[in-house]
Amino acid sequence: MDKYCVFGNPIAHSKSPEIHAAYAAQTGQPLAYEKWLAPLDGFAATVQAFIAAGGKGANVTVPFKLEAHKLATALTVRAQAAGAVNTLLFGDDGSITGDNTDGAGLVADIVQNAGVPISGKRVLLLGAGGAARGVVLPILEHRPAALVIANRTVATAEALVEQFGALAGPGVLSACGYAAVQGAYDIIINATSASLSADLPPVPAGAFAPGALALDMMYGAQPTVFMQFAASHGAVARDGLGMLVEQAAEAFHLWRGVRPQTGPVLQQLRAKL
């Protein structure tokens, strides 16, 4: 039985074991998946202990995604671009491949589950931290008409434009402060952590085009403040649960070479919120 886990601190709240157990049952893959609490100052040692115990791969959550990036002996293109790793693959030769499936998970949720194409659309990304950084490349791969990164500290958003500018068409990628957001957008993504403190990023109400998709990377039993605000201004609000399920499917595919069906698992998790 191949062993996988999710590393984090805290970790008790993680839904990853439930998601991967569902994928394993659905695809007939023989694997065991568990939560591993890593000490804040002992991530690398904990990973090595898991490998020694027969671990084949792992997911990585807060606050270890940057450390996982450093620990990897090889990085996928999207992990290099994101500067953070949320998925590890352990080779028999002692290699540790780092991947980042967050952006691919977000894009899959938007395009497949929500049924909203990104191609040719105006996209507004709120925030320029790690969560935002991980999704810029996968969004650009879908060729939006525009991708604007809005952030409190404009220089942080501008650094992302600098990093990814060559991958976008002329004039596609730009950065600004929240107050400088102009016009309406088809897709608005909240990649800030504001929802964790029931706060709202200062996005202008006019940014939501009628019927726009407004997606918050956070999720809970009730709509976040951002989702409520977006819905009150004519947008279709969506939380981050689909992104969670999709990024897990991407990791599962990396480990097992099999792509699970995400729809039933998303429904199952949604019913339990």
> What are the two backbone dihedrals, phi and then psi, of residue 5, each rounded to the nearest 5 degrees?
-155, 175
DSSP string over 111-172: IIIS----TT-EEEEE--SHHHHHHHHHHHTT--SEEEEE-SSHHHHHHHHHHHGGGSPTTT
Q: Does residue 134 have a known ligand-binding role?
A: no
Q: Does residue 197 have a known ligand-binding role?
A: no
Helix (H) or strand (E) holding 228: helix 225-232
B/e letters for 57-73, b = 16+ CB within 10 Å, e = fewer, are: bbbbbeebbebbbebbe
Q: Does residue 240 have a known ligand-binding role?
A: yes
Nearest to 171 by CA among 140, 137, 147: 147
Q: Does residue 97 have a known ligand-binding role?
A: no
Q: Does residue 99 have a known ligand-binding role?
A: no
Q: Does residue 217 have a known ligand-binding role?
A: yes
Q: Does residue 14 have a known ligand-binding role?
A: yes
Active site includes 272? no
Catalytic residue, candidates 35, 65, 70, 121:
65
Q: Does residue 224 have a known ligand-binding role?
A: no
Active-site positions read 65
Per the annotation, binding residues for shikimate are 14-16, 61, 86, 102, 219, 247
User: Residue positions in the annotated binding site for NADP(+)?
Assistant: 127-131, 217, 240
| Bind-site residues | 14-16, 61, 86, 102, 127-131, 217, 219, 240, 247
